[in-house]
Structure formats: structure tokens, C-alpha cells
Structure 1
């Protein structure tokens, strides 16, 4: 009560001066402590921890006063597992200490993705499709075919792979591409008297395709059936060799019985058609 009486007995101007002084003093104290409260001047340059293990990256960052948090993971097939792929803030950024640095690390196990259907696509379209699935193009093999630079077959580890098959992300896919029809002509190979399986191998070795396959009645095993006619034949009506380009097709006629051929390997001419 006595202190209150002393305050009230003083003039209004004096009291106003005291209040103003207190406000100024509090302002000075606030601004002097602002640097401490906001850690002004405690700025650190973010180091580059990309490519380091999680343990090494965390140790490096925490030694500089940063907090560390693994935010995401990604799979890069050319990078060892559990290494730092990306960081936020980036290297070289100047930030305040005790800032949280977010890390993206490379996965230990690659995720599985479905194999797309590439057959019939151009090389460029196949490449874009594979990249969208995080798959890579491995070897490219060219075979003669009419549709130049289109995918004839897709392979994984040297074996054909069906669309939809689950494979590891980052796998290398081999593409068998068409090189177009060859410009050089070679003699037509003789397949008459061979089994269909043998004929396929001979034509494939000559970079030729199988066209239409006509099968006679009574054939139970197509691969074991015999070729008794082909078009174009090896020789024309004058006995001269017919020529064919790589990538072209040969039609085959199959029968359950092996045809009789002459010493040149040519079957006897077919009997004339019956007239009605």
C-alpha cells in the first residue's frame, strides 16, 4: 500500500517516463537475445553425402549439428545398395545448424515389374517403354525381316520372355530387331525330304522366314512331319538355281510320309490334276 501511495503521489509525467523507459529496456533485451533465440550466425554449409553409406552420411551430418532422416528409397541398378542417392537440402546450401537433412537411399532388393510386350514396336518405342518400367536395353540382335528396325523378339538372359512376367527392375532386355530384307541374293535352300523341325533350322540359318505351312491330313506330329514341297523350289523348270534374299519367306507343304527324291534331292513332279 505504501509503494502504491508513492506511485500515485508522483506526477503523471514522471510515471509516463518510467513506463517508457521500461518499454525501451525490454526492447533492447529482446533484440539482444534475438540472435541467440534464432541461432543467428550459426550457419553451416551442407556437405555432399551422395554415394556414401547411410552410416557414414549420418555420422558426417550429425557431426556438423544436423538432424538426419531417411525420407525415401529408390532403386538404381548401377549403384550399390543402401548408398545415399539424393539429399535435401542439396550440397553447398548454407543453412542453420540443427536443420533436418532428408536422404533418399538406394534399395537393397530391386522391386519386381511386369515385362511389357515389345514385339512389333519400333526400337525407339521399345526403348521408351522399357525406361518407363525402369528396365534397360541390353544387347541388340539383327535379323533380316521386312519391317525394318522393329522388335521381332524380346529376351532375358538369352531366353524369350513373355509379356506380363514379373522381373527385377533394372534388368537388361535383349531385343531381336529386323534389319529389313537383305540386298544380296543366295540360292534357295533345299528342304524337301527334311522334317519340319529340320527345315526350320535350315531356313533360320539362312536368315529366311517360314511363310505359309500347308499340312496334309493324317499328320499327328507337325515337327516330325516331312516337307514334300516348297515354294519357291530350289531349282526352276530349266534346272537352274532359284535365288532368294535374306528376310524373305518360303512356303512349305507337310506330309506324314517322307517323299521320294531323285539323286539331286528333287522330288518327282506331282501328278497332273484330275480333270472332271
Structure 2
């Protein structure tokens, strides 16, 4: 077996295989050297602070490729100024290597308008500030959504949520100030459903129930009845119900009368007006100033006040008026006449005292 291994034919085949293997390895490295341009390196030129157009021209002349990356806007630098370069200037790279340029954009990066429509104004302002937008003028407009965002304006034009505008742009907001009061309801009887919707929207109302006589949804049907009636006043945003038909209101007079009996309140003016008079309280008797008031004896308590005894020679009190028509009575048990001082006078008495003789 060893003798056959050292046969010249075997050795020749082994040498041939080794030569072929070495040749293939040499050819592979030569191909890689040619393909990768081994040893052909060029320095990266310094294009920082140049404009992007100048930097691209320099890189083309050096046989290098380039990639432009828009960095965040910095107002301290010129628009389209090269701020950074990768690899760094002076590095040696192969011919055809792509160089990355970081360029200052012309303006701030665009941001999308957030969806703040119909949101409370306080939360909407906070959301706009978070995305980098500034709120300019606040315009109040009548709306049933008080303190809610109705529209957003950018340079005087209405913008929708999702629109891209430069960051730190100033936008104006339209905020609802509450509904208007006492608006006259328009007359839409005789109009088509489509025309009635437009007239109701112009008057700041909303369309409520729309009942078609034939059950269809034809917008060309004619309105023959509405509720509330035309000329009534309502607040902004109130709904107006409509009844529509392909026939004219004159042909539906009976139907209109039927609806009037349901939705229109009738006031009977044939009844006499009602007068309201004040009825005196029977528990409180009327006091006639011309009728004298007879004082009543008040029962005395255990500790009565000292009585005032009037003698024959005593003079009447200074406050009591003198009268000539005093009623005199004769005491049946004695001979002395008794003067009755409790007889009221014709004038309205003041505070009286009970005098006992």
C-alpha cells in the first residue's frame, strides 16, 4: 500500500492539484484587489460650512459619492449649509465611497396638524404647543359648542388635521362663543328638501326629522309643513322638523290642518278675561277709623300696678280731652253721682288708662 502511494502518477496528480489550488487562490485575490481597488484611496475633502451645491461638486471631482441628510433647522446657520460630514475630513477612503453630508434645511421640519376640531380649547392649545405650533389670534364665533375649536386657520386659509406645515408656524383658531339667542326661524314651506336644508343651515339651525309622504328619501320633494313655524324665535342649533311630499302644500290642505291641530296651540279669545281681586281675611276684622274703640278691662295679675283713684276735686289728666257730654249715672246704693269716664270720644283715642273711682 505504501509502495502504491509513492507511485509517480499519484505524485504527479497531487502536484497538479496543488498548482491548480494555488492558481485559483491567486486569481481570487487579484480579482478582489481589482474590484475593491485595493491601494487606491483618496482623502475626504473638507466641505464643512460650504453650501450643499459646492460640496457636491467637490465630491464629484474627487470621485466620491454623496448622501445628503437634512438635519433639524438651526436659524444660526445659512439654509443648505453643510454642518457635518462622515467620514471626517482628511480620512482616506476608497474611490467611489459614499460620503454623508449633514445639511441645514431651508426651514423648520414640517409637522402634522393634530386633530383638535370640536375639542375643548384649553386641551387643544396644549396639544398644538406639544407639536411645536404657536397659537396666534383667537377668533370667537357663535356656536352651540361653547369653548370648543371650530376651525384652524393658517395664513388666512382653513387647514384640516394632518396637513404638514413648518414647525413653529403660527396658526389662528376659531373658538365657539355659545349659541345665538332668539333667531327667527325661516319659512321653508314650498321649497324642496335640498333647498330647505341650505336655508336652515344659513339661519344657524339644524334639520331634524324629515318625513316624506311616500316614504322615499327624494331630496326634490316639496316641503308642505314645518315645525316650529316660520317667524318663531329659537336659539341657534335647534332642530326644525320637515314634512315633504311630491304634491304642493295647496293640495295637502287637509293634512296641514291635521298637523296644525297637533303642533299648533290654539288660544280661545271668546272667553272673557279673568280678573283677580283681593279677598279680605275673615279672621282680621276691619277697623273703621270713625268708629270709637271701647277699651276692654284687662284682668289683673297677682302684682297689679297701683290704681289711680280720681276724686271729685281731682283734675282730669292733661292728655285727656275735656268733653261736655259726659254720661252721668246715679248709684242706687248711695247718693253720690258717679261720672262714667269710660265713654269713648268721637276722635280716634290715643293710649288710654282705666280709671276706677
Q: TM-score range, shorter-chain basis?
A: 0.3 to 0.5
TM-score, normalised relative to structure 2:
0.37
Q: Which has the higher contact order (CA 8 A, sep 6+)?
A: 1
Larger strand share, 1 or 2: 1
TM-score, normalised relative to structure 1:
0.46
